[in-house]
Structure 1
Amino acid sequence: MSVFSGVQAAPPIEVFQLGRDYQADPSPVKVSLGVGAYRTEEGKPWILPVVKKAETILAKQVEQEEINHEYLAVLGLESFAMGATKMLLGETSPAVQENRAFGVQSLSGTGALRVGAEFLKNHMNRDVVYYSDPTWGNHGLIFKNSGFNTINKYRYWDPETKGFNFTGMIDDLENAPEGAVIILHACAHNPTGIDPSKEQWMKIAEVVKEKKLFPFFDCAYQGFASGCLDTDAWTVRYFVEQGFELFCSQSFSKNFGLYNERAGNLTVVVKDQEPIDRMKSQLTLLVRAMYSNPPAHGARVVNLVLQDAELYAEWKGCIKTMAERIIAMRQGLRERLEKLATPGDWSHITNQIGMFSYTGLTPEMCEFLKKEKHLYLLKSGRMSMCGVNNGNLDYIAQSMHEAVTKFQ
């Protein structure tokens, strides 16, 4: 017998299994509403034109041997990390101007979360983390595998109102132990699409400061949510202005369409420069043991765009295109559901923002949609709005109407 014969099979990851089921479905009306990746009006992946331009420039630089395939530094491409940090915090951020913010290139947002979590566990003795209920499916696993022994949830989604449970979140944060790490979604909360208002964020910041909690932001959708980089970064910038030290994981998968390039950044903000060199030395050892150093191509694409005014302006236009199409699909879906007199209030579809909508559909409704209507969304009712387009909008709305009517 193999020495590995005792290894037990792990349960499938729902979103990836859903993708496999979709691919195997021969139905001509099938729709993928699970994958967290942008799709065009034609339902196809989109390589941003500005990314194509940047890659053409990089190819010429390789040909002329201006760049090569040598290893990056352990903490990554420094100009990329600094550019990403400035994009998040803003050029006029006090943390940027006082040189007390820095970045660590990571394996997308997931890698940034893992590096940050291990640093907090190993060098800050943090052992308790809170994340929203619900949250992105990987948050708990990342912190568990980083050694956190206490993993808690704070209330977020209110199934009755299909909105934000502000009172529940505040109550849970007020009862969290001092020093706990709090995962906060910077914008376009995944999976609900519901974000606190500015006034609510101010109260959240007040409680986090009072309880001496450590904010760890997850920023996967800057610019992708509202179409504006500054709007989507407001929360993180507010916390910095309030004097917080914090971590923030950044992903360029969505806003650059660089899903498989794993371009990400861990932004670190501290009160003064004094501990930065020591922090970087420990982060270097942590990364060295984890994956040695990050890949270059995606980071170079992002870096080139962030440093070039013309490409940067074009990229912001691409972001706006993606955000506006998703917003339009939200409006279209709500209008159709209301026109069909689908039971319930569907205003939450347009009150939400970003890639995902927490529809409020029950697991049995979602199973019906998958088996009978060939619509593939998570059993929690989370729908990727990127899969909705004018060609399938009527079919999706009619199918949802039938599901709700059947199982209400």
Structure 2
Amino acid sequence: MASRAAIYQGMMWRGRSWAVGARSMSSWWSNVEPAPKDPILGVTEAYLADPSPDKVNVGVGAYRDDNGKPVVLECVREAERTIAGNLNMEYLPMGGSNKMIEESLKLAYGEDSEFIKDRRIAAVQSLSGTGACRLFADFQKRFLPDSQIYIPVPTWANHHNIWRDARVPQQTFHYYHPDTRG
């Protein structure tokens, strides 16, 4: 019990979570700068602050119905039903689900891709788009230390932070616009 008391020293229960005592933890956070506000999330903040009954949330890429509830595509519901019928709780291999990776590559490159047939693509499963970026940034810094990353304009604000934190030099590029050829 003494070890538990030591762990909880400086912490207080606040409803549903632990609040960290300012005295015990302030030195941990004293040099941490707040992250800059994300302009895309700012759109949602502006939506929430707007009193107009006719407002439309065009912020973060989530479709919502007239009641403000997320619209869930039928294919997602079907995937949920499939998963619910097969709750395998075993750990996946380190690189992820081989079947998921194989099917994702077919989706991205096409069923008859020469890259897939010739086994010229390396792939792993990641937690999310941000997780994939972080995984690759760390890989890039470790195995390609003299390389750089080209990040499109526009992109999500956290993409720059991911490569900055991995200490990979960044360049930006603009998407090609056929109308202006630039």
Given the two structures, how large is their TM-score scaled by the length of structure 2?
A: 0.71
Note the C-alpha offset of 1:33: 1.8
Equivalent of residue 172 in structure 2, options 145, 148, 153: 153
Q: Distance in 1 between matches of 2:79 and 2:42?
A: 34
Equivalent of residue 36 in structure 1, options 61, 82, 94: 61
Equivalent of residue 57 in structure 1, options 57, 82, 88: 82
- Kindly provide the CA deviation profile for residues 58-92 of structure 1, in whole angstroms up to 9, marking residues without a partner as x: 22223xxxx2x232222111100111011111111
Equivalent of residue 47 in structure 2, options 22, 28, 31: 22
2:37 — aligned with what?
Answer: 12
Give the conservation status (yes or no) of the 8 Å contact 1:76–1:104: yes
Give the conservation status (yes or no) of the 8 Å contact 2:38–2:157: no
Q: How many residues are treated as equivalent by the alignment?
A: 157
Report which of the two structures shows the higher radius of gyration computed on alpha carbons: 2
- Kindly provide the CA deviation profile for residues 195-216 of structure 1, in whole angstroms up to 9, marking residues without a partner as x: xxxxxxxxxxxxxxxxxxxxxx
Change (3 A) 1:155 1:15: closer
Change (3 A) 1:61 1:156: closer
Gaps of 5+ in 1: 167-408
Give the conservation status (yes or no) of the 8 Å contact 1:128–1:151: yes
Q: Which has the higher contact order (CA 8 A, sep 6+)?
A: 1
Change (3 A) 1:32 1:164: farther
Q: Distance in 2 between matches of 1:152 and 1:100?
A: 26
Equivalent of residue 105 in structure 2, options 85, 91, 95: 85
Note the C-alpha offset of 1:164: 4.9
Q: Distance in 2 between matches of 1:123 and 1:87?
A: 27
Given the two structures, how large is their TM-score scaled by the length of structure 1?
A: 0.34
For the residue of structure 2 that corresponds to 1:131, the secondary structure is strand
Q: Distance in 1 between matches of 2:57 and 2:172?
A: 29
Change (3 A) 1:6 1:132: closer
Give the conservation status (yes or no) of the 8 Å contact 2:141–2:167: yes
Give the conservation status (yes or no) of the 8 Å contact 2:153–2:172: yes
Within 5 Å, which residues of 2 pair with 1:2-401? 2-3=26-27, 4-39=29-64, 44-62=69-87, 67=88, 69-148=89-168, 150-156=169-175, 164=180, 166=182
- Kindly provide the CA deviation profile for residues 310-356 of structure 1, in whole angstroms up to 9, marking residues without a partner as x: xxxxxxxxxxxxxxxxxxxxxxxxxxxxxxxxxxxxxxxxxxxxxxx
For the residue of structure 2 that corresponds to 1:153, the secondary structure is strand
Change (3 A) 1:138 1:8: closer
CA root-mean-square deviation? 2.8
Gaps of 5+ in 2: 1-22
Q: Distance in 1 between matches of 2:55 and 2:106?
A: 42
Structure ranking higher in helix proportion:
1
1:34 maps to a residue whose letter is G
Q: Distance in 2 between matches of 1:137 and 1:146?
A: 15
Note the C-alpha offset of 1:163: 5.5
The runs of at least 4 consecutive aligned structure 1 residues that moved more than 4 Å come to 40-44, 155-158, 162-165
Structure ranking higher in strand proportion:
1
